[in-house]
Amino acid sequence: MSDVPRAAAMPAVAPLLEVAGLHHWFGGLHAIDGVSFACRAGAIKAIIGPNGAGKSTLFNLVAGTFPPAAGRVAFAGREVTGFPPHRIASLGIARTFQASRLFPGMSVLENVMAGRYVRGRSGFLAGMLRLPSARGDERDARRRALQMLEHFEMADLAGADARSLPFGRQRIVEIARALVGEPTLLLLDEPACGLNIRETERLGDLIRGIRSRGVTVLIVEHDMSLVMGISDEVVVLDRGTLVVEGTPREVQADPRVVAIYLGEA
Amino acid sequence: MTVPPALRHHLPVAVLAALVIAVQLTVSALGVPQYLVQLTMAAWYSLAALGLCLFMGYAGQVSLGHAGFLAIGGYASAAVSTANLLPLAASPIVAALARAGLAARGIDLYGAEVLRLSPWLGPLVGLAAAAAVAVLLGLPSLRLRGHYLAMATLSFGIIVHRVVIGSPALGAADGIPDIPALRIAAGLAVTGRKALRVPNYYLAWLVVALGLELILNLARSRAGRALRAIHGDEDAAAALGVDVGRAKLAAFVTGALYAALAGSMLAHYNGSIGPGEASVMKSVRYVALVAAGGMGSAGGVLAVSTLLTFLSLRGVFGLYDDAVFAAILVAIMLFAPDGLFRALRLPRRRAGPQRAAGRSA
């Protein structure tokens, strides 16, 4: 793990997220084969590639879902390789999931309030005894969650059962839940999956809005129209390796990328 | 929305208090004060059920060994408060306990001199033991999900049951009799004595109300929402920063403490405890009560638990007692997985218009 080369030339400003020499196997499948890239603060960066390219695996390695077989992940200058998901989250990395993973039996408001967990401090006993710290956390969570719902024009749905909403709405609630903890980096796992064209367009605006709040966005996506429209930088994966990294225009013009996608079709 | 939030928060406990008083007055008026005995016992058993409600209903985990924790509390109280330390009176530890006022000489039922520990050490030892066992059992087994956690807790329950039955020191199959009263204050002690029937009834229900309040508080807090999030989706909860293992352990230990306190108080109230308290069927019974009450509804669990336990203690189910609870569990799982109240469409607080759609997996 230690013999992995660091990014050769350190840029003037250290990147927010740095992935170096990452490897992962699923049984005999080399799902991630030596991937290195960096993501600078304030950018929207996309990871694209055909099915089975290893996009989601790479994403899960960053989010701590499972530790990498080799390589390192650094966030805000700090080594976070192999950290469990809850520690990754507490450092300021929020994520969404491919399928809707809203909490069933909880309202939209409660779901978003759950996202404020990372910003609270009160524990189990404080909650049971309703100590001032617990009440303070609760007030803060409610206020921030309501603000977030208002921001996404969903305040009128605060009391609704989250899982009863239409799919596109659920996706936005998930993003609100991830954002309400004020992360530095937001990981979006195929956010356009299952959305129609108009919803995807709106999602693009929404993601740009998130960036303008100062949140860096790393997005794994299938939908090319979304990615090319909003990303500052794109990483193309194929069969576990990084093929090209560059601006959307550079990537689109690259013959290797064209070959991968046309070959795939 | 017409009720102010502060009031709404205390509503369940206020309703409980009113019901407790009304029931006591009714029972007195009807001339059946003996019912208070079963109502007091039902209160303590319901405290144990509330503990399981926290772990099963809120955190969404399965425990088939809850009776084991009740037995640990009960047997600790029984063993500590009935132990005769006279043969050990010379030992420095016992002497120190006596000097601290935690052990005193007395005369037992048969006129022999004995040296007994303060009954107060019983519940303390019971709670400490239950917490320690819950941590030891929880650390490895709470990583398990679903069936596997059920198996681990089931095995734990069986172990406690067999240890209790097999230990001559714990009275083996006969259990421990002649457990002394637990004196709380002048004129108030946890004991089955007829003269203290009414105060014991109120004491038990006061503790239950407190237990309910603590759980309802938790449900509306950061830590409680984290538990419900774990119930819904462990991975999503972890992604929000929730240390899933730690949160489950906290719920497990708290549930065990509820059960151990209930066991301890029941031992003093009944004056005896037997291995039946630790049986697997008792654990199944708590699961049935929590399921019938609606899992994540502490108020519903309390209502169902009080009613069914009272009927059971009155002998209404006769020889089919265990079968009735098992049948209830099967029926609930098949026909009303959200509990009786949801099935009967009784209004629940905070039930939104979209509520009907969501049956949690």
The beta strands (E) that lie in chain B are given as: 103-107, 113-117, 182-185, 188-190
Decide if pLDDT at A5 tops 50.
Answer: no
User: In this predicted structure, what is the pLDDT of residue B2?
Assistant: 59
Residue among A59, A90, A103 with most chain B CBs within 10 A, to mutate: A103
Closest partner residue to A138 (CB to CB) among B221, B231, B354 is: B221
Nearest CB neighbour to B233, from listed A90, A101, A134? A101
What is the per-residue pLDDT for A264?
52
**Residue A177 is which amino acid?**
R
Task: Read off the pLDDT band of B3 (50, 70, 90).
Answer: low
How much is the average pLDDT of A244-262? 89
pLDDT of the residue at A9:
46
Better-predicted residue by pLDDT, B277 or B357: B277
Q: What is the mean pLDDT of chain A?
A: 91
**3-state secondary structure string across chain A:** CCCCCCCCCCCCCCCCEEEEEEEEEECCEEEEEEEEEEECCCCEEEEECCCCCCHHHHHHHHHCCCCCCEEEEEECCEECCCCCHHHHHHCCEEECCCCCCCCCCCEHHHHHHHCCHHHCCCCHHHHHHCCHHHHHHHHHHHHHHHHHHHHCCCHHHCCCEHHHCCHHHHHHHHHHHHHCCCCCEEEEECCCCCCCHHHHHHHHHHHHHHHHCCCEEEEECCCHHHHHHHCCEEEEEECCEEEEEECHHHHHHCHHHHHHHHHHC
Residue A12 has a pLDDT of 53
Whether A172 has a pLDDT exceeding 70, the answer reads yes
Contacting residues of A for B222, CB less than 8 Å apart:
116-117, 120, 122, 127, 134, 137-138, 141
Chain A positions in Cβ-Cβ contact with residue B242 (cut-off 8 Å): 86, 117
| pLDDT of residue B181 exceeding 70 | yes
Q: How many CB pairs under 8 A join A and B?
A: 131
Span of A19-23, A113-117, B329-333 with lowest mean pLDDT:
B329-333
Predicted pLDDT of residue A1:
41
pLDDT, one tens digit per residue, over A198-244 is 999 999 999 999 999 999 999 998 888 889 999 999 999 999 999 99
Which of A74-83, A86-95, B244-253, B344-353 has the lowest average pLDDT?
A: B344-353
Task: Using an 8 Å CB-CB cutoff, list chain B residues near A128.
Answer: 214-215, 217-218, 221, 254
| Mean pLDDT of all residues in B320-340 | 89
What is residue B353's predicted lDDT score, i.e. its pLDDT? Answer: 38
Confidence class of residue B345 from pLDDT cuts 50, 70 and 90? low
Task: With CB atoms and an 8 Å threshold, state whether B220 touches A138.
Answer: yes
For the four alpha carbons of A94, A95, A96 and A102, in that order, the dihedral sign comes to: negative
CA distance B216 to chain A (A): 8
Asked which of A11-15, B190-194, B243-247 is least confident by mean pLDDT, the reply is A11-15
Q: Which residue of A has its CA nearest to B58?
A: A105
Looking at residue B346, what is its pLDDT? 52
Of A25-29, A33-37, B146-150, B251-255, the range with the lowest mean pLDDT is B146-150
Which of B231, B209, B279 has its CA nearest to residue B66?
Answer: B279
A208's CB contacts (< 8 A; 6+ apart) are A44, A230
Q: How far apart are CA B37 and CA B311, in angstroms?
A: 12
Q: Which residue of B has its CA nearest to A100?
A: B236
Q: Which helix (H) or strand (E) element contains residue B55?
A: none
Question: What average pLDDT does range A191-202 have in this prediction?
Answer: 90
Name which of B225, B235, B240 is nearest A118 (Cβ-Cβ). B240
Residue B231 has pLDDT above 80, yes or no: yes
| Strand pairing class (A44-48; A233-238) | parallel
Are the beta carbons of A89 and B239 separated by less than 8 Å? Answer: yes
Query: Residues B317-345: what's their mean pLDDT?
Result: 85
Nearest to B214 among A65, A128, A181 (CB): A128
Q: How many angstroms away from the CA of B128 is the closest CA of chain A?
A: 17
**Is the CB of B210 inside 8 Å of chain A's CB atoms?**
no
Q: Is B327's Cβ below 8 Å from some Cβ in A? A: no
Average pLDDT over residues B186-212: 95
How far is the alpha carbon of A253 from chain B, nearest alpha carbon, in Å? 36
Is B52 a residue whose pLDDT tops 90? yes
**Using the beta-carbon criterion (under 8 Å), do A138 and B217 form an inter-chain contact?**
no
| pLDDT in the model for residue A156 | 95
Whether the CB of A175 is below 8 Å from some CB of chain B: the reply is: no
Residue B153 is encoded by which pair of tokens? Answer: 């807790």
**Structural contact between residues A65 and A85, judged by C-beta atoms closer than 8 angstroms:** yes
Identify any residues that bridge with A39 across adjacent strands, giving them in sequence order. Answer: A17
CB of B193 less than 8 A from some CB of A: no
Please check the confidence at residue B109 and state whether its pLDDT lies above 90: no
User: Chain A closest CA to B17's CA: distance in Å?
Assistant: 19
User: Contacts of residue B6 in chain A, CB cutoff 8 Å?
Assistant: none
Beta carbons of A105 and B239 less than 8 Å apart: no
pLDDT at B255 over 90: yes
Whether A177 contacts chain B with CB within 8 A: yes
Interface test with B, best of A128, A137, A186 (most B CBs within 10 A): A128
Residue with tokens 């980096």: A185
The alpha carbon of residue A61 is apart from the nearest alpha carbon of chain B, in Å, by 13
- Indicate if the pLDDT at residue B359 is higher than 90: no
pLDDT value of position A265: 46
Scanning A38-77 for CB atoms below 8 A from B yields 63, 65
Put simply, the answer to whether A105 touches B232 (Cβ < 8 Å) is: yes
| Minimal CA separation from A111 to chain B, in Å | 8
If DSSP codes are grouped into helix, strand and coil, which group holds residue B107? strand
**Has residue A8 got a pLDDT over 50?**
no
Q: What is the pLDDT of residue B85?
A: 87
A-chain CB neighbours of B360 within 8 Å are: 104-105
pLDDT in tens, A111-151: 999 999 999 999 999 999 999 999 999 999 999 999 999 99
Stretch among A234-238, B209-213, B276-280, B345-349 having the lowest mean pLDDT: B345-349
Region B235-247 average pLDDT: 96
Q: Which residues from chain A sit within 8 angstroms of residue B57, using beta carbons?
A: none
CA dihedral over B219, B220, B224, B229, signed as positive or negative: positive
Report chain A residues whose CB lies below 8 A from the CB of B225: 110, 113-114, 117, 141
Tell me whether A84 touches chain B (CB under 8 Å): yes
- H or E stretch including B145? none
pLDDT of residue B7 exceeding 80: no
pLDDT score of B10: 82
Q: Do the Cβ atoms of A8 and A30 come closer than 8 Å?
A: no
Over residues B123-152, the pLDDT tens digits come to 999 999 999 999 999 999 888 877 888 899
Distance CA B116, CA B82 (A): 7
Q: Is A91 on the interface with B (CB under 8 A)?
A: no
pLDDT, tens digit, for every residue of A30-85? 999 999 999 999 999 999 998 888 999 999 999 999 999 999 999 999 999 999 99
**pLDDT exceeding 90 applies to what percent of chain B?**
73
Three state DSSP letters for B111-122: CCEEEEECCCHH
- B-chain CB neighbours of A164 within 8 Å are 354, 357-358
Q: Average of pLDDT values for B256-282?
A: 97
Burial B178-217 (b: 16+ CB within 10 A, else e): ebbbbeeeeeebbbbeeebbebbbbbbbebbbebbbbbbb
pLDDT at A19 over 60: yes
Report the residue from B231, B233, B242 with minimal CB separation from A117: B242
* Contacts for B330 with CB less than 8 Å, ≥ 6 apart: none
Q: What is the mean pLDDT of chain B?
A: 90
d(CA B127, CA B284): 22
Q: Does B242 touch chain A (CB under 8 A)?
A: yes
Calculated CA dihedral for residues A82, A111, A214, A120, nearest 10 degrees: -70
Pick from A65, A84, A161: which is nearest to B352 by CB?
A161
Task: Show Cβ contacts of residue A166 under 8 Å, excluding neighbours closer than 6 positions.
Answer: none
- Write out chain B residues lying below 8 Å of A137, CB-based: 221-222
**Lowest-pLDDT choice from B74-78, B237-241, B343-347, B354-358:** B354-358
pLDDT tier for residue B6 given thresholds of 50, 70 and 90? low
> Which of A4-13, A103-112, A148-157, B264-273 has the least mean pLDDT?
A4-13
Q: Which of B62, B176, B77 is nearest to B128 (CA)?
A: B77
Q: Quick check: B358 and A105 CB within 8 A?
A: yes
Rg of chain B (C-alpha set): 21
